[in-house]
Structure 1
């Protein structure tokens, strides 16, 4: 099973569904706590469920088992809790809820899962923590640590920058 993360914010429908197609996602798992207001645009729960089925021919599930507690999320969004504290609180919640084993019970039959969260250019999302916890479990590794997620993020950022630079170089030489 491949696990991917995707933000419902700061993205176009073309980018969003392009990623789903690239990943050949057969499940879009929406783990946002609040996904029904008009500000969600095309990623509003009922609209997203429709589009995922019609465009990607995949299943859609909204599952708040994997959402952070409202109080923790609000503190993080307001800036009164930093990423490290948010990570620790969310991680603890997922362990207490026995979330990762439940993920495999509910969604283990899928091959490519896109988990939808709320990352922005300025704010990280709980989905990256959840992704790492699931991947660690699949690999039989010990529980996720903040350092692992940070290292993976830094490696992904470096790869994206290298890809951008390669494209720039290719355009200049063409």
Structure 2
């Protein structure tokens, strides 16, 4: 079995130039959007409709929404409102994607030169890191993960 190169990125605190340069440098062919809300005005250049256009025009890359890897609204809100610790949120999110059986519902080939997108600047306290770690544990550690920031 060969390893699959996959990365993660957040758009917060990045200019469009930095964001797309990081994707280009990583050889990303598919941006895998794992955000709960990808149409917010706060997303700037990373709004779903704009991102599809920019990815194709600048990188020849595709855009794919992976709603199965998005968190639940209520849980995310409780974490953002500081009603949950990061550890509690991480446990709840991991239980959620396990319940959704994402490892069986997603094709590992989709992750080949893919990049999971969320808003958080760094992966340390972001569900995109939890998602890729969970999938890697279920897919025999075939994902070679890099975090772009």
Secondary structure at the aligned position of 1:119 is classed as coil
- Greater Rg over alpha carbons, structure: 1
**Equivalent residue for 1:146?**
none
Higher helix share: 1
**Equivalent residue for 1:9?**
12
Higher strand share: 2
Q: Which runs of 5+ in 1 are unaligned?
A: 142-151, 161-174
TM-score, structure 1 as length reference: 0.74
TM-score, structure 2 as length reference: 0.85
Report Cα offsets for 1:132-172 as digits up to 9, x if no partner.
1122233359xxxxxxxxxx9xxx8xxx9xxxxxxxxxxxx
* Root-mean-square deviation (Å): 2.2
Q: Which runs of 5+ in 2 are unaligned?
A: none
2:36 paired with 1:56: no
**Equivalent residue for 1:129?**
130
1:21, 1:137 → 2: CA distance? 28
Contact 1:26–1:110 (CA under 8 A) maintained in structure 2: no
Ranked by relative contact order (alpha carbons within 8 Å, sequence separation 6 or more), the top structure is 2
Report Cα offsets for 1:13-67 as digits up to 9, x if no partner.
1111111111111110111011112111000010001111111111101221110
**Equivalent residue for 2:86?**
83
